[in-house]
A and B are shown apart, each in its own frame.
Chain A
């Protein structure tokens, strides 16, 4: 793959063949070399074929090989110019994302009650195989319409939480009637559940603040215990994407669209199928916002039980909730003109800079919190959105895998990984010990390097680093 360095941490894949725009990868030399080891860069080039794509097909520093889009892929299309929406550019786990809660507790408080807290979390957080959810199936239809707001109405969390969610936890253009019965069946027993794979609930401690003003605005301080939750729309989202990929595959021909990878199937945003998909995606996103919201509620309950207090006295306020698998209509500058674009972020986080009207009042001065989880057992970061982001206000979403699951499993057993984590002072409560090795720290890139590269590339600025002290996984 032809690749030119065009900035300190910016690389370009020149236009060739049917590419409508170049590819642009924001990465350090080491990170871009790793991306070149598999098909990630080819995927960036493939996305550049999408009709209506503007500026470039982009990838974040945590880029790695995905399906269709690279993980870490960002693509913006102009609906007024025939721009398309691609369900593959959102992914199966629609609105997968991360939620971070602060707390009134310090590292010493956690250490003193570690086993009790972890036991409560393990008991309360449904995860892994089989059914089991915190909310009842009866709540699903409300959740599809109004997301986290429906969860608040049902007694989970608080109204104040919604202020600290991307879109206030409710995708307003949701069309629940576009969610299939099969998707509802898959999701109805999963509302308030973690799932498995790379999803987790972690207890973390802020071990370094590098931007005191932003950290204070976000409600973070050194030594504070936090809870980070990573999960998405569960089977409801997976089925919705499956349903729409099939429909778009057959609809594409009607619009004369061809794509180099069938997973990139797309139709114009301003088409019947495009609008219907975006409505279905928004309803599935509402499920995801509510899912993380309900899990956060349960985490507060777990801490309250462990500390023998009321949930509202735990100080577990929401820092922020961000999605990293969505397509959204947003205004961005294209060649000096404000243009409404359909921005796909597949494993990339929205990162609005200071002053953006969609930010809550108390964060507008510092920019949006951007949550970048590390791998299990390594640090995570909170960043903030900054001005002049060159990637349609997007930043990295995690550390990014560097080793296949198969290789990771061969290197160490799940028990060995658990032992190593426990020795490092990290309490682990897995749904399946055997799966721990697939998510071992050595299977991921160095999150510190990803974050440093985000800063060098002008994507986001670091605010605080968090180290894990407890992990609940599927």
Chain B
């Protein structure tokens, strides 16, 4: 069973992400008009699960490249890299720019702020799982991702 997430879609449009129900862990269904928008929205969803909505004061940007092939691997590797950077730099990310370069490379910029003073909206996500991972490309892009918390 799916549960409504924190984002409100425009009429007729898919929400950028919504929360999926899972007994022990947590997950999201993300969507986007392109593969890159899908991955950016999935990143928004993942950090919103932990830190809630964008507080509006994020001004610290990190940029990195992901080299993987296929939408599933690009998605999982991007989210995993963001978790690594968040945890080691004590940053919560809220805004994301993802640019593709062929099937096997992404350039990602994430903008965040220090976790100091932030309340957790949900438990910290330990990792991105492959369980039930689905990336669907039809009239747009959709993905289901379960996180270990």
A67 within 8 A of B: yes
- Are B88 and A406 interface neighbours, CB within 8 A? no
- Contacts of B26 on A, CB cut-off 8 Å? 404-406
- Contacts of A71 on B, CB cut-off 8 Å? 24
- Are A92 and B21 interface neighbours, CB within 8 A? no
Quick one: which of A242-298 are within 8 Å of B by CB?
A: 242, 245-246, 249, 261-263, 265
Contact flag A402-B23 (CB < 8 Å), given A67-B148, A130-B115, A186-B84: yes
- Contacts of A249 on B, CB cut-off 8 Å? 130
Q: What is the chain A residue whose CB lies nearest that of B149? A: A197
A93 to B125, CA, bound (A): 11
A66 within 8 A of B: yes
B-binding segment of A15-23, A233-241, A455-463? A233-241
A368 to B118, CA, bound (A): 43
A129 to B133, CA, bound (A): 27
Contact flag A68-B129 (CB < 8 Å), given A403-B23, A407-B21: yes
Q: What is the chain B residue whose CB lies nearest that of A43? A: B131
Against A, the Cβ 8 Å flags (1 = close, 0 = not) of B76-103 are 0100100110011010000000000000
Partner of A434, one of B25, B80, B119, B127: B119
- Contacts of A129 on B, CB cut-off 8 Å? 115, 118, 120, 124
- Contacts of B120 on A, CB cut-off 8 Å? 128-129, 196, 431-432, 434-435
A192 within 8 A of B: no
Nearest chain B CB to A373 CB, angstrom units: 15
Q: What is the chain A residue whose CB lies nearest that of B50? A: A129
Nearest chain B CB to A344 CB, angstrom units: 15
A119 within 8 A of B: no
Q: What is the chain B residue whose CB lies nearest that of A439? A: B123
- Contacts of A261 on B, CB cut-off 8 Å? 130-132
Nearest chain A CB to B6 CB, angstrom units: 11
- Contacts of B146 on A, CB cut-off 8 Å? 67
Against B, the Cβ 8 Å flags (1 = close, 0 = not) of A124-139 are 0000111100000000
Give how many A-B residue pairs fall within 8 Å (CB-CB).
Answer: 112
- Are A131 and B90 interface neighbours, CB within 8 A? yes
- Are B90 and A245 interface neighbours, CB within 8 A? no
- Contacts of A404 on B, CB cut-off 8 Å? 3, 21-23, 26
- Contacts of B73 on A, CB cut-off 8 Å? 246
Q: Which of A66, A249, A434 has the most CB of B within 10 A?
A: A66
- Contacts of B124 on A, CB cut-off 8 Å? 129, 195-197, 474
A182 within 8 A of B: yes
- Contacts of A412 on B, CB cut-off 8 Å? none
A38 within 8 A of B: yes
- Are B123 and A438 interface neighbours, CB within 8 A? yes
A238 to B127, CA, bound (A): 6
- Are A130 and B130 interface neighbours, CB within 8 A? no
- Are B21 and A434 interface neighbours, CB within 8 A? no
- Contacts of B19 on A, CB cut-off 8 Å? 406
A164 within 8 A of B: no
- Contacts of A431 on B, CB cut-off 8 Å? 120
Against A, the Cβ 8 Å flags (1 = close, 0 = not) of B118-149 are 11111110111111110000000000001011
Nearest chain A CB to B123 CB, angstrom units: 4
A61 within 8 A of B: no
Against A, the Cβ 8 Å flags (1 = close, 0 = not) of B13-32 are 00000010111111000000
* A-to-B contact residues, CB < 8 Å: 38, 40, 64-68, 71, 88, 91-93, 128-131, 182, 185-186, 195-197, 235, 238-239, 241-242, 245-246, 249, 261-263, 265, 401-407, 431-432, 434-435, 438, 474
The 7 sampled A-B contact pairs (Cβ below 8 Å) are: A65-B23, A66-B131, A186-B87, A196-B124, A261-B130, A404-B3, A434-B120
